[in-house]
Amino acid sequence: MSADGRLRVAVLSFWHVHAGDYAKTAAQHPQTELVAVWDDDEARGREAAAEFDVDFEPDLDALLARDDIDAVTITTSTKDHRDVILKAAGAGKHIFTEKLLAPTVEEAEEIISACDEHGVKLIVSLPRLYHGYTQAVKEVLADGALGTITYSRVRLSHDGAVANWLPERFYDPELTFGLAIADLGCHPVYLTQLFLGARPATISSTYTHVTGRDVEDNAVVAVTYDDGTIGVIESGVVSPDPFLIEIGGTSGWLSYSERDRHVALALKGRDTETIPVPDDLPTAFDQWVEHIRDDTRADDNLSRAVELTRLVVAANHAARTGTKEDYR
């Protein structure tokens, strides 16, 4: 730690579009400071380091060997997550990483085991788990007001592929393992798992390529559970639709939209009521800092990160085969 007790953080790669956001957080958080950048694209890395007025280190091993770095944020391509994270864990650096944790469940579990072995605190950026609307929905589900849940729909999209503000590297399947579901769609995936359960019984996927690129840019994944509940996961990068949650049960339904910013609840025999959205919980980054400070493990986050990977892998496979598959 620095002389004033702050954690010293380096950014490993500006490949992902959220790298700058995490770098800014590390620079502005009261308990961390940003001290260095590494990137396998030297021009990109030097530009980012200059923007944040920190060191650029072209050699990853040299950066990880520095004793003035306590932790790293990792925003490489998904393809490189395993190798970079294992190196960082072996060097004893605490790790905050972009989703997906890894392109396979086996690699995700290997990463977590390595971090545990080296005493490294790992957390994956799954931000919508901690938003206020998620807490409001969880409270409604927990009190049983909807009766038996029978249906859920979570949709998230933006226009990055048609407005062309996403970098071209996001369309390389060897680096990303997908786009509409494997990147943006991770958010409705892990929320669906939170609301309905991590392990559905079956899964089917429809992926399309509106812009003609090699990765899916428009996608729907349907999951079913043993009790007959259906979960619909929608994501795309070809339309600027609002984020949406809809959940139905035998006694009513609820909905949330970013346009309204409140949860609407309609129960049998009652007028629709509005549930205010509470404040967000501490962010994943805040939690990461606290886990480092308190020497605790992000058990729930890591479990959900593995299950997220499991479902995305299965969704991709179902899309390739065009079949409804047994998920269990």
Contact 87, 244 (CB under 8 A): no
Residue 169 has pLDDT above 90, yes or no: yes
What distance in Å separates the CA atoms of residue 171 and residue 124, rounded to the nearest whole number? Answer: 22
- Residue 285 is predicted with a pLDDT of 98
- Which comes out higher in pLDDT, residue 163 or 325? 163
pLDDT tens profile 301-312 = 999 999 999 999
- Give the distance, in angstroms, between the CA of residue 121 and the centroid of all CA atoms in the same chain: 17
Q: Give yes or no for residue 328 having a pLDDT over 80.
A: no
Write the pLDDT tens digit of every residue in 10-25.
Answer: 999 999 999 999 999 9
Range(s) of the chain covered by CATH 3.30.360.10: 128-282+311-326
Reported as a single tens digit per residue, the pLDDT across 73-99 is 999 999 999 999 999 999 999 999 999
- pLDDT value at residue 260: 84
The pLDDT tens digits for 271-313 are 899 999 999 999 999 999 999 999 999 999 999 999 999 999 9
Sequence-distant (6+) residues with CB within 8 A of 156 are: 184, 185, 187, 188, 234, 235, 243, 244
Using the predicted structure, report yes or no on whether residue 5 has a pLDDT greater than 90. no
Quick: pLDDT tens for 211-228.
Answer: 999 999 999 999 999 999
CA distances from 110 to 74, 96, 104, 250, 254 (A): 16, 16, 10, 41, 38
In this predicted model, what pLDDT tens digit does every residue of 127-149 receive, in sequence order? 999 999 999 999 999 999 999 99
Residue tagged 């002389």 (tokens) = 3
User: Rounded to whole angstroms, how far apart are CA atoms 157 and 183?
Assistant: 11
Tokens 């494997």 label which residue? 182
Q: How far is CA 302 from CA 48, 80, 129, 317, in A?
A: 29, 19, 12, 23
Which tokens go with 317?
A: 């496979």
Average pLDDT over residues 105-133: 98
CATH number, domain 7-120? 3.40.50.720
Architecture of domain 128-282+311-326: 2-Layer Sandwich (3.30)
The ranges of the chain annotated as CATH 3.40.50.720 are 7-120
- Residue 68: pLDDT above 80? yes
Question: What global pTM score does this model have?
Answer: 0.97
Alpha helices in 96-241 (DSSP H): 105-117, 132-143, 173-176, 186-196
Cα dihedral angle (126, 129, 131, 134), rounded to 10 degrees? 150
Mean pLDDT for 246-268 is 94
Q: Taking Cα atoms as reference points, which of 320, 76, 307 lies closest to residue 178?
A: 320
> What are the tens digits of pLDDT across the range 239-253?
998 899 999 999 999
Check residue 3 and give its pLDDT: 63
Closest CA to 78 of 104, 117, 46: 104
**Mean of per-residue pLDDT scores for the chain:** 96
* Spatial separation of the C-alpha atoms in residues 262 and 276, rounded to whole Å: 5
Tell me the C-alpha to C-alpha distance, in Å, between residue 56 and each of 31, 69, 325: 22, 13, 47
